[in-house]
């Protein structure tokens, strides 16, 4: 039973890690969606605020109309009292009482609605600031993520390039070595051929000036320094 619990715990832990890895990989996408959702909620809040403001203004206009009616009815009640028509004056007074009761009921409503508007404006402003700050933070994280991915790609490319360069350098060294060995083989073959034909001995004799028909530089200089030989006198016919 204990082993079974451990296996269940391991499976749950593995599933959590997998889910966390997926969430981390999609973190920016999730944040973008959350920002969009917050923006939608802000739009709904602004609509509600606009509706509340519109209703409050409608009530204020109603109050303004009631105040105007009260002013007119007060004048009418005074006129009726001056003429001694108390029944009419009482009817007007009853209407004035209803108007004043309506105004008295609506004034607190207007005050409450104004207070609610102020609270909503404060909340909306605060939420706008938080959303904007989160959006900037997401932009920074996205930029950093792009830069780090580029750096990783460059590092990977450099690693591959350095590996390729190392392989190319090794190949070049082996090629130079093969060429050097081949050159030595050519030189050795030429020396063997000269030895077979005696060309190497002729070269040594030529350099020493001992080969017939060859002269060394010293021989040529000695010849040029020697006085020219006198030609023998030719015998001329003497006439008797």
Q: Which pLDDT score, from 0 to 100, does residue 49 have?
A: 93
Spatial distance between the Cα atoms of 174 and 159, rounded to a whole number of angstroms: 23
Alpha helices in 26-85 (DSSP H): 27-83
| pLDDT score, position 206 | 65
Whole-angstrom Cα distance, residue 31 to residue 38? 10
Distance CA 60, CA 45 (A): 22
CATH code of the domain occupying 9-174: 1.10.287
pTM for the full model? 0.52
**Residue 57 confidence (pLDDT):** 95
pLDDT (tens place) for every residue of the chain, 240 residues total: 455 555 556 556 555 555 555 556 677 788 888 888 888 999 999 999 999 999 999 999 999 999 999 999 999 999 999 998 899 999 989 999 999 999 999 999 999 999 999 999 999 999 999 888 888 888 888 888 888 878 777 776 665 555 666 676 777 777 778 778 878 777 777 777 666 666 666 666 666 655 555 556 666 667 677 776 665 555 444 444
Q: Where are the domains of the chain?
A: 9-174
152 in helix, strand or coil? helix
Residue 51 and residue 43: Cα distance in Å, rounded? Answer: 12
Determine the Cα–Cα distance for residues 2 and 13; give it in Å rounded to an integer: 16
Counting beta carbons within 10 angstroms of the beta carbon of residue 77, is it exposed (0 to 12), middle (13 to 18) or buried (19 or more)? Answer: buried
What does the pLDDT read at residue 240?
Answer: 43
Q: What's the confidence (pLDDT) of residue 29? A: 83
Q: What is the predicted pLDDT for the residue at 238?
A: 47
The pLDDT, as a whole number, for residue 65 is: 94
61 vs 66: CA distance, rounded Å: 9
- Which residue from 115, 138, 131, 139 is spatially nearest to 42, judged by alpha carbons? 131
């Amino acid at each position: 039973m204990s082993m079974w619990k451990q296996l269940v715990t391991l499976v749950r832990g593995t599933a959590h890690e997998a889910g966390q890895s997926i969430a981390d990989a999609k973190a920016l996408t999730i944040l973008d969606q959350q920002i969009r959702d917050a923006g939608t909620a802000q739009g709904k809040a602004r609509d509600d605020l606009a509706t509340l403001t519109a209703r409050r203004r409608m009530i204020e206009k109603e109050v303004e109309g009631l105040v105007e009616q009260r002013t007119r009815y007060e004048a009418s009640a005074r006129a009726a009292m001056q003429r001694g028509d108390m029944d009419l004056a009482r009817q007007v007074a009853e209407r004035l009482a209803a108007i004043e009761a309506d105004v008295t009921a609506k004034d607190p409503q207007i005050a409450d609605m104004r207070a609610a508007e102020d609270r909503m404006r404060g909340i909306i402003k605060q939420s706008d600031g938080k959303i904007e700050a989160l959006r900037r933070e997401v932009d920074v994280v996205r930029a950093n993520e792009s830069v780090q991915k580029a750096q990783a790609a460059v590092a990977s490319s450099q690693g591959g390039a350095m590996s390729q360069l190392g392989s190319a350098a090794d190949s070049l060294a082996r090629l130079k070595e093969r060429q050097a060995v081949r050159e030595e083989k050519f030189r050795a073959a030429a020396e063997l051929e000269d030895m077979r034909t005696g060309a190497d001995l002729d070269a040594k004799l030529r350099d020493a000036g001992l080969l017939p028909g060859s002269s060394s530089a010293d021989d040529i200089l000695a010849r040029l320094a020697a006085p020219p030989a006198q030609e023998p006198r030719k015998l001329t016919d003497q006439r008797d």
